Amino acid sequence: MWSITAALSWLTGRDELIEPIEPAVRTPEEILSNPYLPSVLDVIVVKSMLVKGLKLPLELIDSIVDQAEYWPHTSSEINYATGDSPFYTVGYSTTADDSENELLLRAVPLGFLKWPPQDPPLEKARNLHPTAVQPSPPGEQFPADVFQGLMGYPVPLVTHPCRKIVFTTRSRDQAWGGDAQDHHTYHGSWTWFEAGLERWTRKQGDSPPETQMQPSLALKDLTAIYPPVVAENENTYKYDHQLLPSENLKVQCNKTAVHETLEHTVVWRYTDDMDPENEQAAAELASSGRGTATGDGRFVRQLELGDIVTLWGKTRFPGWANHVESVKVEVYWVV
């Protein structure tokens, strides 16, 4: 397990020099609208300063950092408007290959600064994003310290380190259909986005699971947790995509029958505590197009080191189409 002492040793042993930077003076409005996004190195430096300069206990330092939301993050994004078409369409059409459940984006594994570890970087390897992993039942999980050893920086051994996920979508539906009273509202919408989850687990095969010491970090070895996987027959499995939206995973739906592309930013925090059984809270979330059970923070709190957040595009019923211009997922975690 990494300690502040180990972090200082790691910090002072780095080849590059840390040059002091004259801080820019910004107004409170500028700070709120465009907050500084620290790197892992920034967080370690600040913690080290608090330890050495103010002699604060580590528990208080961790609390200060959490309250300030001074967390590193990764950002994964695809812009579909740069190709031959202004958007990517999820939904029914005359083309048989079109689907109503499509993987749109795969984030960097939680706690990793980049992935895959080899070239090209994730943001340039666009073929990694729309490739859903082969459905298979999840196996035994790797312990958190296994992923900690693969990250290359002094991350604390926290089983559930995720603090915030920010989803940003630009999209619209087919701009017609649905009940007239639902037009230009989030009611009656059958085009939406859902969060998913993938992780590396020990698999059955030539070697016993207990001899698989660490994950391969290969795309082909990922296991889907959400959407859930069910047995199709004795030897094959399939994704279990429900007809209705999963209210605990539904990130955002499009407004019904709106011609303009709209941008939605949805933030899930580990401190969210809306009761899914509270009708008023559920109605508040539904009125903004979110899943009625996405306000309790459970998804964020249960993420583990190495977990991968995914984003799926969804539609239901003939004629409905989710025209996606761009999607983005930012994942913040504690160091």
Count of alpha carbons within 13 angstroms of residue 29, beta-carbon side: 0
Full-model pTM = 0.87
Measured on CA atoms in the order 304, 307, 308, 312, is the torsion positive or negative? negative
How far apart (Å, rounded) are the C-alpha atoms in residues 156 and 209? Answer: 26
Q: Which of 194, 160, 113, 156 is CA-nearest to residue 300?
A: 160
pLDDT at res. 82: 76
pLDDT at res. 155: 65
pLDDT at res. 287: 96
Q: Which of 2, 22, 108 is CA-nearest to residue 332?
A: 108
The residues spanned by each domain of the chain are: 1-70, 73-333
- pLDDT tens digits, 226-237: 999 999 888 899
pLDDT at res. 213: 84
Give the residues of the chain that fall short of pLDDT 50. 1-2, 15-21, 94, 96, 118-127
How far apart (Å, rounded) are the C-alpha atoms in residues 14 and 6? Answer: 13
pLDDT at res. 130: 65
Per-residue exposure over 221-257, b if at least 16 CB sit within 10 Å of its own CB, e if not? bbbbbbbbbeeeeeeeeebeeeeebbbbbbbbbbbbb
How far apart (Å, rounded) are the C-alpha atoms in residues 181 and 194? Answer: 25
- pLDDT tens digits, 147-194: 888 887 776 667 789 999 999 999 999 999 999 999 999 999 999 999
pLDDT at res. 295: 97
Contacts (Cβ under 8 Å, ≥6 apart) of 329: 75, 76, 77, 105, 107, 165, 166, 167, 168, 309, 311
Count of alpha carbons within 13 angstroms of residue 284, beta-carbon side: 10
